[in-house]
């Protein structure tokens, strides 16, 4: 959020500023926002249940209204759209591509409700009488330095002697985006909201870059292969029905252990459906509306991520 009353010296509040993406946004603001006067970081580790996230988003909107903060950029997710639980592919779609968003997992449901709250708040009067201007960014699968799932895959590969086993057909494509480019898009949106409020207010934007379309496993190997890991199998080594069974058992075990420990398996029904459904975006809406271009090329994004994995490799010895 940026408080327009402070222009040309801006005050930003980054909620979730200690998380994976939040840390990169904070760093990007410090490095590339010359009008930054004050940066405030707020982070509170809450559970991911539906009503808590919805209430938290409503609290942020209410705080904007009460403090007279005029601009709110919400970090949504492509999972607001899909992949849906029916496994329908989304191939090179954009923000206007028809797609049946059908979800059952708490995360996409909660993100969809929170995004709806933010977009519906666009135009609401804040303290002082000015309208609140909101928009939402929907990153595809984010990767880069600090990515917990990438870290989990790396250590899993080490436990299996430097090997990972293919579970998803290579033909299933996903759009991925480097975390630095997601942070950069947030900065550009915050800069342009004041001047382009009529155009950008109430809008959603897929957040993407030039990273190649590949399956999750093949994409991850772009970074893990240079660090000594191998992906075994040209085709999935286990039949899909068996993966469904294992994912269901993991979900049951997670539910049974919830009162005692936090068990978060990589494989569960939601991640299995995500990984096995093609979901790729191709859109220039962000470029047309506020001049977005990736700050980091694919080559630089790949190099930075490999160096981070290699640093983990050294620390694991």
Cα distance between residue 28 and residue 25, in whole Å: 5
Tell me how crowded residue 158 is: count the other CB atoms within 10 A of its CB: 16
Cα distance between residue 202 and residue 116, in whole Å: 10
Of 42-46, 76-80, 279-283, the least confident: 42-46
Residue 121 near residue 138, CB atoms below 8 Å: no
Tell me how crowded residue 230 is: count the other CB atoms within 10 A of its CB: 14
**Residue 107 among the catalytic residues:** yes
Q: What is the mean pLDDT of residues 176-189?
A: 95
**10 vs 295: which has the higher pLDDT:** 295
> What is the set of domains in the chain, with CATH numbers?
4-312 (3.40.50.720)
Q: State the pLDDT at residue 49.
A: 38
Predicted confidence (pLDDT) per residue in 119-155, tens digit: 999 999 999 999 999 999 999 999 999 998 899 999 9
Q: State the pLDDT at residue 51.
A: 47
Q: Which residues pair with 238 in a beta bridge?
A: none
Q: Looking at the predicted structure, is the pLDDT value of residue 168 above 80? A: yes
Tokens of 81: 């759209």
* Alpha-helical regions (H) of the chain: 20-32, 50-67, 106-120, 148-159, 179-192, 197-200, 216-224, 240-257, 269-275, 285-290, 298-316
Buried b (16+ CB within 10 A) or exposed e, 105-130: bbbbbbbbbbbebbbebbeeebeeee
Q: What pTM does this model have?
A: 0.85
Q: State the pLDDT at residue 313.
A: 65
Q: Looking at the predicted structure, is the pLDDT value of residue 55 above 80? A: no
Q: State the pLDDT at residue 50.
A: 42
Cα distance between residue 22 and residue 43, in whole Å: 9
> In whole numbers, what is the pLDDT of the chain averaged over residues?
86
**202 vs 40: which has the higher pLDDT:** 202
What is the CA 82 to chain-centroid distance, rounded? 13
Q: Looking at the predicted structure, is the pLDDT value of residue 5 above 50? A: no
Predicted confidence (pLDDT) per residue in 59-74, tens digit: 888 888 998 989 999 9
User: Binning pLDDT at 50, 70 and 90, where does residue 279 land?
Assistant: very high
Angle between helices 216-224 and 298-316 in degrees, nearest 10? 70
Q: State the pLDDT at residue 305.
A: 96
| Portion of the chain with pLDDT greater than 70, in percent | 90
Query: Which one of 23-27, 33-37, 128-132, 272-276 scores highest in mean pLDDT?
Result: 128-132
Cα distance between residue 88 and residue 303, in whole Å: 33
Cis-peptide, bond into residue 8, ω within 30° of zero: yes
Largest CA distance in the chain: 62
Of 36-40, 133-137, 196-200, 283-287, the least confident: 36-40
Q: What is the mean pLDDT of residues 154-183?
A: 93
Q: Which of 71, 99, 107, 213 is catalytic?
A: 107
Of 1-5, 153-157, 222-226, 275-279, the least confident: 1-5
């Amino acid at each position: 959020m940026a408080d327009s009353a402070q222009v040309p010296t801006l005050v930003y509040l980054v909620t979730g500023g200690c998380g994976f993406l939040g840390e990169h946004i904070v760093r990007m603001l410090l490095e590339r926002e010359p009008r930054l006067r004050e940066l405030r970081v707020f982070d509170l580790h809450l559970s991911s249940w539906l009503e808590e996230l919805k209430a938290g988003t409503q609290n942020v909107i209410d705080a904007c209204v009460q403090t007279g903060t005029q601009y709110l950029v919400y970090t949504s997710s492509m999972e607001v759209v899909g992949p849906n639980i029916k496994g329908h592919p989304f191939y090179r779609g954009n923000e206007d591509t028809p797609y049946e968003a059908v979800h059952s997992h708490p995360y996409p449901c909660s993100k969809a409700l929170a995004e709806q709250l933010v977009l519906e708040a666009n135009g609401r009067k804040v303290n002082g009488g000015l309208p609140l201007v909101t928009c939402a960014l929907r990153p595809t699968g984010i990767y880069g330095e600090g990515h917990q799932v990438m870290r989990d895959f790396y250590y899993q590969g080490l436990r299996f002697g430097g090997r990972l086993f293919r579970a998803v057909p290579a033909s299933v494509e996903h759009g991925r985006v480097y975390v630095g480019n997601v942070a950069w898009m947030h900065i550009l949106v915050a800069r342009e909201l004041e001047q382009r409020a009529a155009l950008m207010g109430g809008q959603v934007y897929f957040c993407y870059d030039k990273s190649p379309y590949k399956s999750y496993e093949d994409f991850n190997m772009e970074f893990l292969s240079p660090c000594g890991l191998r992906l075994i199998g040209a085709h999935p080594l286990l039949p899909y029905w068996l993966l469904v069974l294992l994912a269901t058992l993991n979900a049951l075990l997670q539910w049974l252990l919830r009162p005692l420990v936090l068990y978060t398996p990589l494989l569960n029904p939601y991640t299995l459906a995500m990984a096995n459904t093609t979901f790729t975006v191709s859109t220039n809406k962000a470029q047309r509306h506020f001049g977005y271009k990736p700050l980091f090329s694919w080559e630089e994004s790949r190099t930075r991520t490999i160096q981070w994995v290699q640093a983990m490799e050294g620390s694991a010895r």
